[in-house]
Chains A and B, each alone.
Chain A
Amino acid sequence: MRAILIRGGYARTAPSPSPGPPSPTPEHDPTIADIPNLKVPVTSSDIAIRAERLGKTYRLGKSQPRPSTLAEAVLQRLRGRNAPTTSAKFNALDDINFEVPQGQALGIIGRNGAGKSTLLKVLTRVTAPSRGRVEFRGRMGSLLEVGTGFHPELTGRENIYLNGALLGMTRAEVNRQFDAIVDFSGMERFLDTPVKRFSSGMYVRLAFSVAAHLETEILAIDEVLAVGDAEFQRKSLDKMRDAAKQGRTVLYVSHMLQTVKTLCTSAIVLERGQLVHEGSVDSALQAYSSSFERYAADQADPANRQGAGGIRFTRVWMNEDHIASGDTFDIHFELPALQHPLPVPDYWVSAHIVDDDGVIIAQCDSRLNGITFDSGTHVVGSVAVRNLWLKPGSYTVDLFVCQWGPIHDIWDAACRFDVLPDLKYAATATDDALANGLVLADFQYEVN
């Protein structure tokens, strides 16, 4: 491994995913030619991971559901194997090609449902690909969802050993790392307490500490850095960066673009299961935001939107594209009058304010105002959102048309707006005064 570490170091000084033997580059990506590094040929031994024409198809049980009980399976078999199955297929991943040189940290970014997690699951062998092939050199350890395999009845110590084994560490490795793990987690005092007595923060810290001490040559990480308090998060991020510095190859999935920027040396962007960009982190972030715009444009066409479709928005808009935190903002919408109103004519509208990480910050549901709309009349309406002290950043608004039972229209990212770092607080302070929490609040300290 030592020798290979050195080679990993060499590969970093000449970062160069080789085009190699016929490795098809995504044709639909013009920007790939802009990255000069990609053209430097390297021997194939410098490549830690190579994915070729990778694809994963899920069968969506629509018209002929996949049998979930024996009786159904038998019935389907009786009806004949050759009966036309019209089950819809869904390509979670399609024709993915990329290479990761040893010692690089590759970020995998994309919107929710773009296939990031599926890709990581295929790469870590949790699930099998439907097509294509992946080759990787060295052991691959994964930090998918922290604490998987922790058992609440077992003590901290017992869980460290169990979790270590599940993540692929040998007993000797766990023994060697045991003190470091305990030290990193800061849980010495609770080692012999069953973890069910732990707070969720303690639980997650211990779990992350085990995973962080994996010594595999490749490390796959899925969103786990968002654990614990700010200090533990920083520690975790440092630990991951060390992993990359030691010449290990890191795969990092996140929609927290900030962490991708600090951790990764290159990135790929996924969009609807396809690789749309491969290159430096900055170029990937740019491609991601333009992919977002494409997605938003795409959603404007009702045919591309999810939902039962009984009634759909014709238009959604906001008059401002940036506001100051705490400002009132209005979301306007328009719905048609149906010639044949819905069987139950009334419906309601809901707006979700979503932050850049995909977290729903607020749900503004018209039912809470006691307001429903009639599908027989043309509706032009708006919702005014007041007293929501959003943190500076980018936000999107998802809009829904609902009835009891069906959701008729789901318009993802119907609007997007920025909240300016122009705060309503009387005094200013350094950034750490604002670092925690999802939203800001209208608060006032007093001395009595």
Chain B
Amino acid sequence: METFVIEPPRRLNLPRWAILWRARDVVTRLAQRDIIVRYRQTVLGAAWVIIQPVMSAGVFSLVFGTVAHLSSDGLPYFLFSLAGTLAWNLFNNTLTRASGSLLQNQALVSKVFFPRILVPISTAASTLLDFGVGLGVAIILLFVYGVNPGWPVLLLPVWSALIAVIAIGVGLVTAAMTVKYRDVGYVLPWATQILLYASPVAYTISSVPSGLRWVFEANPITWFLEAFRWSLVGTEAPPLWQIGGLVVFAFGVLFVGVVYFQSHEREFADVI
């Protein structure tokens, strides 16, 4: 029989894999709950998953393509902005849901023991599902528009995973902060809104004035958007340093997120 030891928390309190692995059912059940609950008692149900990205991509192509006459590097503007929207939504929705997850599960956090880190992680499942459905629609549209991205399409799962990893990493920090400081809940939507317009989601990086371009290229969100669009709709391949940077950044953010979250984990029940 195993022996467990409970002691006052130390500063660096990294999760124990054995405990996380044993509690893996918690992730599946929480994810299942999130997905079921979201579509039960809705009329359109799962259709919302498609309507949302398609509508915002439509608005983007109207505003940026038709009204502002921005270039989309020769692609149909709608397809171009749909690709950006899918990647952005994956990031934004995962981040947003992960941030609020501890507060939403307040009763659990203050009453039962299980590795708390599983709560924000489990939220990724429902956004990944949404993303998968949206991606399916985008692939159908590729055939409709006759766009062939070529072999880079095989890398899509890699980019998607990296986007989710970045979102979870940031989400772990914001989720832990929200437990103590509710401000995060107000700041975050506003910050992501600004980030949405500051990143080339609905416009190309080439339409940014060359004097300012370095600012946009220093933005890691640009890196994953460019890589994702390269793979999905066959835009120009991003420079190699961006791809390398993306991988390093993603795991760096995840590491920071895990360390920050874990160093506050033991006080959640007292503070929430």
Contacts and interface: CB of A to CB of B under 8 A. Distances in A.
Interface in A95-154: 121-140, 142, 144-145, 148-149, 151, 153-154
B62 interface: no
A369 interface: no
Nearest to B13: A128
B16 to A, nearest CB: 12
Q: Which of A69, A128, A148 has the most CB of B within 10 A?
A: A128
B1 A4 contact: yes
Interface in B229-272: 266-267, 269-270
Contacts of A171: 25
A278 to B, nearest CB: 19
A147 to B, nearest CB: 9
Contacts of B7: 129, 132-134
Contact of A126 (B8, B23, B111): B111
B18 to A, nearest CB: 12
A217 interface: yes
Contacts of A127: 266-267, 269-270
B40 A153 contact: yes
B107 A154 contact: no
Given A126-B112, A148-B111, A121 B36 contact: no
B4 A126 contact: no
B213 interface: no
A158 B33 contact: yes
Interface residues of A, number: 49
Nearest to B27: A165
Interface string B167-204: 00000000000001111100000000000000000000
A138 B183 contact: no
A131 B7 CA distance: 7
A148 B105 CA distance: 10
A149 B3 contact: no
A149 B108 contact: yes
Contacts of B180: 67-68
Interface in A222-243: none
Contact of B29 (A67, A138, A148, A162): A162
Contacts, number: 116
A4 B113 CA distance: 25
B49 interface: no
A70 interface: yes
B117 interface: no
B213 to A, nearest CB: 33
A132 B6 CA distance: 9
Nearest to A102: B1
Given A126-B269, A148-B107, A162 B5 contact: no
A217 B1 contact: yes
B36 A137 contact: no
A69 B8 contact: no
Contacts of A161: 29
A121 B180 CA distance: 20
Contacts of B5: 133-135
A144 B112 contact: yes
Contacts of A447: none
Contacts of B33: 151, 154, 158, 162
Contact of B37 (A123, A148, A153): A153
B30 A162 contact: yes
Interface string A165-182: 111111100000000000
A131 B114 CA distance: 21
12 contacts: A69-B181, A123-B6, A127-B270, A132-B8, A134-B6, A134-B7, A137-B1, A138-B2, A149-B108, A151-B33, A194-B40, A217-B1
Interface of B: 1-9, 22-23, 25-26, 28-30, 32-33, 36-37, 40-41, 107-108, 110-114, 180-184, 266-267, 269-270
Given A162-B29, A162-B32, A168-B113, 20 more contacts: A4-B1, A69-B182, A70-B181, A126-B110, A128-B6, A129-B6, A129-B8, A133-B7, A135-B5, A136-B6, A138-B1, A140-B4, A144-B112, A148-B112, A151-B33, A162-B30, A166-B112, A168-B23, A169-B25, A171-B25
Interface of A: 1, 4, 58, 67-71, 73, 121-140, 142, 144-145, 148-149, 151, 153-154, 158, 161-162, 165-171, 194, 217
